[in-house]
Structures are given as structure tokens and as C-alpha cells.
Amino acid sequence: MNRRRNWLVALGCVLISGGIVSAKVTVLDDAAFPKLVNPSFEDSGDASDRAAGWSRWGQWINREDQWTPVHSGRCILGYHHWEITDANTSGVYQDVAHAVTGTGYTFGIYANLDKAKNPTRDALSIELRLESIVNGQQQIVASKLYKVADLVPDQWEKLTVSGAPSNDSLRVLVIITPSPQNGARGGAIRFDDAFLEPIS
Ligand SMILES: [Ca+2]
């Protein structure tokens, strides 16, 4: 074996070791960190207005494939505030697998307000919440309330909430409270690109 071949063999070993180390790191990261399913709402569920991986309640919180602007992809969640007929909340949630007890997570989503012509007709608030199941009941772990009146219209704003689950169960929620005034609601809210990341 000449010097050139020795050098190539040595380089090969380094590359192989490097590859093995990278693969291990990737596997560990996947196992250790929970991920949201369908965070950009691109995939439909059992109907085109439902987002795969997300559950919803209340009126008019739909997956939309025609609304613009989007934050990424071609679909978003649309809250049709102008069509809401009572003062009950609407929202979406997802139960996240592989959460680790006591580990801090930040859940977030981008929101974009299509403002009502009259500000009193806008929705009231957007709450981001983390919950764990304790003794068979959903329990609030962390909550952050954003007033819709504080949002700048037609801009994507990053909303977040941070907290640590009480155990290995973690639910992330987006809860919208409409204006209390029946018959006088206006505007809409676009949501896109939910995310979950470790507290930095
Ligand atoms: Ca999207």
C-alpha cells in the first residue's frame, strides 16, 4: 500500500465514522422530541375543510385551500368571524406524542388578521394553551392570551405559549373567542405554520 492509498483508506474511515455518528444523532433527536402532525395544514382530514392531525370544535374554523395570503404552502386555517352566530369559542387542538415530563416546550402559530371595517366587530381574543391529562382530566399547564385588537392587520404575527407538561401527555390548543355582539360580527383570522420547539 503506497502513501496515497493509505491516505484514502484513512479518509474513508473518517467518513464512515462521521456517517455513523450523524445517523445516531438523528435517531436520538427524532425519539426525544415530539413533533406536530400537519403543522402547515396542507393535508386534509376526512373532509377538505378539516386539517389532518387536528381536532376542532365550535363554528367556522376551517382548513382553507383558497384563502390568501398563506404563510407557507397553499393551505391555512381560516376563522370566519363574520359568520359566527353565537358567543361560544371555536378552536383546534392536537395531542402530541413523545412529550417528556418537566421538559419545557414552546407552542406557536402564525396569525394574520383580516380586520372588520368597524373594530368593535372584530373577534375578542386568541388563546394559545398547553394541557396535560391529570387524573383523567385535561389540566391547563400554560396559557397565553392575545387580544385581537392588538394584532396588526394583514401581517403574519408569531403567537407563542411556553410551559412544561405535568406528565408525558401534551395537548396544544388554539382557542378563539368571538365578539360578544350577536349579529354584528366582522372580519376573519388566518392561521398557518404551527410549531413546537424546546424552550431556548
Ligand atoms: Ca400552510
Mean pLDDT confidence for 137-163: 97
Ligand 1 centroid, distance to 44 Cα (angstroms): 11
Tell me the sheet residues that pair with 186.
none
pLDDT above 80 for 200: no
Fold of 35-198: Jelly Rolls (2.60.120)
Distances (CA, A) of 168 to 37, 70, 200: 17, 33, 20
Ligand 1 centroid, distance to 130 Cα (angstroms): 22
Of all residues in the chain, the percent with pLDDT exceeding 70 is 84
Summarised one tens digit per residue, pLDDT across range 64-77 is 999 999 999 999 99
Where in the chain are the domains? 1-32, 35-198
Ligand 1 centroid, distance to 20 Cα (angstroms): 34
Query: Residue 77 is placed in which grid cell?
Result: 386555517
Ligand 1 centroid, distance to 200 Cα (angstroms): 25
Ligand 1 centroid, distance to 152 Cα (angstroms): 20
Ligand 1 centroid, distance to 7 Cα (angstroms): 49
Summarised one tens digit per residue, pLDDT across range 7-28 is 444 444 344 444 444 444 444 4
Q: Which residue has the higher pLDDT, 154 or 22?
A: 154
Ligand 1 centroid, distance to 69 Cα (angstroms): 10
d(CA 13, CA 72): 41
Ligand 1 centroid, distance to 58 Cα (angstroms): 21
Strands 105-114 and 188-198 come out as: antiparallel
pTM of this prediction? Answer: 0.84
